[in-house]
Amino acid sequence: MSGRVGALLIHGLGGTQYDLGSLNKILKKAGVETHAITLAGHGTTPEDLVSVRAEQWIDAVVAQYRELQPQYDQLHIMGMCMGALVALALAERVQHSAAQGKLVTLAPPIYIDGWSTPWYAMLRSLFYLIPGVAARMKVEEGEPYGIKNTLVRAVVKAKFERGDNFHYRWVPLSCVRQVDRLRAWAMGGARNIKAPTLVVHAREDELTSLRSADYLKGQIADARVVVLENSYHMICVDNDRDQVANSILEFFGFPPQEFRPRRRERGGDAAGEAPPQD
């Protein structure tokens, strides 16, 4: 591939660039200049998310995109989880097209209907209507932390217990409301996406089922789906992370990379240390 290539990487709710595992480093090795953004309310404390609105996230990525886009022959957009919803909104807002770059959505939660979603999650719209409740109510992270690989999950759990600032342990329900607004915008605007789009989604995603991938496939004119068979929601750090990386490289027009073999733990899951935060 000739010309200067860049990628704008967007993390998930309550997260950091850790959500994207080693993709930053992998893309740089392939010759892609990466640009990460820390969305409003992130990288500090969960309380800072209480008053944040989805418009702030979209406005921030639109501003960064418009600053970066003239510098590249191709500028790709990539988002993980909530970041995938922001990426969809961005691509629609700026009319991102094949001439400008491609779009990658990783585990996009168009529907929040995965196998671990509690039945009472459907009641959250009622809590939104009660003044003050959504700001005070906490939605906590818990097992399996979106990770099927037991060793990586143990590393993540240890990070939470140490209080490492790689991902919030909880988010306010008021912020989940903003994600629901993003979901509605993504569903309504997907048909307007012009850029070639890659959707990577795990069959066993505990947060959002394959209905999300199927929806985007049906709405976006040029969309392809990669289904992962050995991961949960956090696909960039789970068992299939090498497949995720090579699917993206191939989509961007780069050759696949070879990754070092990983130890296998008892029980048969591929194992290894969690990828470093880039």
CA distance 191 to 32: 28
With tokens 């470093």, the residue in question is 276
CA distance 87 to 182: 10
Strands 33-37 and 74-80: unpaired
Tell me, what's the pLDDT at 128?
82
Give the single-character DSSP code of 5.
E
Tell me, what's the pLDDT at 262?
63
Peptide bond into 70 cis (omega under 30): no
Tell me, what's the pLDDT at 271?
36
Tell me, what's the pLDDT at 119?
63
Which neighbouring-strand residues pair with 99?
none
Cβ atoms 251, 102 nearer than 8 A: yes
List the pLDDT tens digit at each of the 278 positions of the chain.
Answer: 568 999 999 999 999 998 999 999 999 999 999 999 999 999 999 999 999 999 999 999 999 999 999 999 999 999 999 999 999 999 999 999 999 999 999 999 999 999 988 766 777 888 787 788 788 888 888 889 999 999 999 999 999 888 888 899 999 999 999 999 999 999 999 999 999 999 999 999 999 999 999 999 999 999 999 999 999 999 999 999 999 999 999 999 999 998 877 655 433 333 333 443 33
Tell me, what's the pLDDT at 236?
97
Strands 170-172 and 138-140: antiparallel
Report the candidate in 117, 89, 121 with the shortest Cα–Cα distance to residue 105: 89
* DSSP per residue, 37-101: E--TT-SS-GGGGTT--HHHHHHHHHHHHHHHGGG-SEEEEEEETHHHHHHHHHHHHTT--TTT-
With tokens 């309550």, the residue in question is 14
Query: What totals of helices (H) and strands (E) does the chain contain, helices first?
Result: 9, 8
